[in-house]
Amino acid sequence: MKRSPFVLTGFACTLFSCAIAFAQIPPSPTDTTAPSYDMKAQALLDLQAVQKKCVDLAEVIPTDKLTWRPAPDTRSFAEVFLHVAGERYGILSMMGATPPAGFKAKEFEKSTTEKERIVDELNQSWDFTDKTINSMSNADFAKLLPKLGPQANEGDVVYILVADAHEHLGQLIAYARQNGIVPPWTVAMQKKKAAAASK
C-alpha cells in the first residue's frame, strides 16, 4: 500500500520531536556520594592567597611605577590594586554586605597613588571580605538571589569574587613582568631551588 508523503513527513516530524524532547531530559544522577568540596573554605583559601600576593607585589613596585599603565586607556598599577580592593566591596554588596561608610565606588580607583595607602586599602577590604564570608552559613551559600538570575545564589557571588580576584592578579603579574619586576613569590622559589641545587 502506497503511503501519502504527508503521512510519512508527519511521522518523521513526530519522531524528531520525541528525540529532541528525550535529549532535553537531564540524566538522573548516578553519583550519590556526599560532596567533598567545601566552597566556603576553598574560597577563603584562594582569596587569602591572592590578597597576600597582591600586597607582596604592591610592596616591591617602585613608587614611580605605580602610575605606569600599558596604554592610555588602561588602568595603572595603582588603579588595578585599588580595583581589586574596591570590587570586594562591590561584588559582596550584591548579596547584601554593606561597604564601609564613605566608600565611593566611582572615585575609589583614582583615590590615591601612595603605596602605603594602597596596601592599607587592600588589607581593609580583605578584612571586610574575610568577615563577610566567614559569617555565611551553608544555607546562606544556597540562598537564592533572583535579581542575578533564576537559579543564582549567594555562593555564586563568592565564586564571582574568586574568579575576579585571580583575573586581576594575573593582570598585575603581567604589568610587573613588562616592567622587569619579578614577583616576590617567584624570587623566593628561585632562591629555594638554587639552595637545593647547591647542596
The CATH number given to whatever domain includes residue 94 is 1.20.120.450
In a domain, 16, yes or no: no
In a domain, 49, yes or no: yes
In a domain, 50, yes or no: yes
In a domain, 197, yes or no: no
| Span 166-194, average pLDDT | 96
Average pLDDT, the chain: 88
* CA separation for the pair 170, 109 (Å, rounded): 18
pLDDT at 7: 43
What are the C-alpha distances in Å from 137 to residues 13, 38, 132? 50, 12, 11
| E runs forming strands in the chain | none
The percentage of residues in the chain with a pLDDT greater than 90, rounded to a whole number, is 77
Q: Among 6, 47, 37, 40, which residue's Cα sits nearest to residue 164?
A: 47
Beta bridge partners, 144, equal 153
pLDDT band for position 199 (cuts 50, 70, 90) = confident
pLDDT at 30: 76
pLDDT at 11: 43
pLDDT band for position 188 (cuts 50, 70, 90) = very high
pLDDT band for position 12 (cuts 50, 70, 90) = very low
pLDDT at 76: 98
pLDDT at 176: 98
Side-chain half-sphere CA neighbours of 98 within 13 A: 3
Give the amino acid at 198.
S
Residue 43 burial (C-beta neighbours within 10 Å; 0-12, 13-18, 19+) = buried
Phi, psi for 173 (deg, rounded to 5): -65, -40
In a domain, 1, yes or no: no
> Which structural domain range is residue 91 located in?
39-188
Per-residue pLDDT at 177 exceeds 70:
yes
Q: Among 116, 129, 122, which residue's Cα sits nearest to residue 52?
A: 122
- The SS3 call for residue 93 is helix
Side-chain half-sphere CA neighbours of 16 within 13 A: 6
* CA separation for the pair 26, 34 (Å, rounded): 20
In a domain, 33, yes or no: no
pLDDT band for position 157 (cuts 50, 70, 90) = very high
In a domain, 144, yes or no: yes
pLDDT at 16: 46
Per-residue pLDDT at 26 exceeds 90:
no
Alpha-carbon torsion (132, 148, 162, 57), positive or negative = negative
In a domain, 28, yes or no: no
Calculate ∠ Cα 24-158-32, nearest 5°.
Answer: 45
Give CA 194 to chain center in angstroms. Answer: 33
74-84 tens-digit pLDDT: 999 999 999 99
**Domains contained in the chain, number:** 1
pLDDT band for position 38 (cuts 50, 70, 90) = confident
